[in-house]
Amino acid sequence: MTLGSFRLLLLGAPGAGKGTITRKLRDVVPSLNSISSGDLLRREIQAETKLGSIASKYIDKGRLIPDELIISLVSNHISTLSQKGMGAQWLLDGFPRTLHQATALHDILEPRNQCLTHVVELVVPEEAILGRIETRYVHVPSGRVYNLSYNPPKVPGRDDVTGEPLEKRSDDNEETVKRRLKAYNEMAQPLRDFYGSRGLLHTASGDTSDIIFPKVLEALKK
């Protein structure tokens, strides 16, 4: 399948399958750059850069990293991709999360003609998400997520890339997940309004990624 150039933000509640959809997209578009704010932060910290040093101080104190720091990190990475001739297609993962982040990122990218072209929200019933959480395991260092029901690791209990052990998140329980779902819906509505008013917002709904993924592809054709 051939898709036109796109710059995509995936929205979706915790457990909606954003990681799975990202992997499926990269199978279709191997040149797609997945930009994860969490991964970028980890790289900066490991490289002991100035930005990484500042970020680690917030993390060590258990404080939220300021929006301006994350916005700068992501926008600089997008600029670097463009300079390397790799900025035609990318996907944002985990950012923006708030209206302030969304508007600030838009204001930075607009003069560069690098604004988002598509925003797709993955809509999954709460009962389906709760079912997924029960069988979800993660590779903590990389953030890779597996699910025993539909996206199992090649070797049981081991990460596909490193072979290191997978872990169950301590907060993967019904009470915590319901609280996170409520928080997501409160956070997401301003983003829906912001991107909807710009004609960028699409939804892809279903119980499984096999149902949702074709709808994501259809949205990217629009």
Give the Cα separation of 190 and 98 in Å (integer): 8
pLDDT of residue 36: 83
Write down the residue that tokens 């204001």 correspond to: 107
Using DSSP, state whether 212 is helix, strand or coil: helix
Lowest mean pLDDT among 5-9, 90-94, 163-167: 90-94
CB within 8 Å of 131: residues ≥ 6 apart: 149
DSSP per residue, 82-128: HHTT--SSEEEES---SHHHHHHHHHHHGGGT---SEEEEEE--HHH
61 is catalytic: no
Please give the annotated binding residues, written as ranges: 15-20, 37, 42, 63-65, 94-97, 101, 136, 145-146, 169, 180, 209
Among candidate residues 23, 26, 43, 169, the one labeled active-site is 169
Among candidate residues 7, 24, 132, 136, the one labeled active-site is 136
Among candidate residues 23, 26, 43, 97, the one labeled active-site is 97
Among candidate residues 26, 43, 158, 180, the one labeled active-site is 180
Count the Cβ atoms, other than its own, within 10 Å of residue 9.
24
Give the Cα separation of 20 and 25 in Å (integer): 9
169 is catalytic: yes
Per the confidence metrics, is the pTM higher than 0.85? no
Using DSSP, state whether 88 is helix, strand or coil: coil
- Check: CB of residue 202 under 8 Å from CB of residue 121: yes
CA distances (Å), origin 111, targets 79, 97, 182? 12, 22, 35
The string over 57-89, giving b where at least 16 C-beta atoms fall within 10 Å of a residue's C-beta and e elsewhere, is eeeeeeeebebebbbebbbebbeebeeeeebeb
pLDDT of residue 87: 65
Please give the annotated binding residues for GTP, written as ranges: 15-20, 136, 145-146, 209
Please give the annotated binding residues for AMP, written as ranges: 37, 42, 63-65, 94-97, 101, 169, 180
Position 1 pLDDT exceeds 70: no
221 is catalytic: no
pLDDT of residue 2: 59
pLDDT of residue 58: 85
Among candidate residues 7, 18, 24, 215, the one labeled active-site is 18
What are the residues facing 121 on neighbouring strands? 11, 203
Count the Cβ atoms, other than its own, within 10 Å of residue 118.
19
pLDDT of residue 80: 86
Tens digit of each residue's pLDDT (9 = 90 or more) over 32-58: 998 888 788 888 888 999 988 998 888
**Peptide bond before 96: cis, by omega within 30 degrees of 0?**
yes
Tens digit of each residue's pLDDT (9 = 90 or more) over 92-149: 987 898 899 999 989 988 998 889 999 999 999 999 998 888 888 999 888 788 888 8
Give the Cα separation of 70 and 55 in Å (integer): 9
97 is catalytic: yes
Position 195 pLDDT exceeds 90: yes
Give the mean pLDDT of the chain.
Answer: 89
Number of residues that make up the chain: 222
Domains of the chain, CATH where assigned = 7-36+89-220 (3.40.50.300)
180 is catalytic: yes
Rounded mean pLDDT of 150-155?
A: 90
Give the Cα separation of 198 and 7 in Å (integer): 14
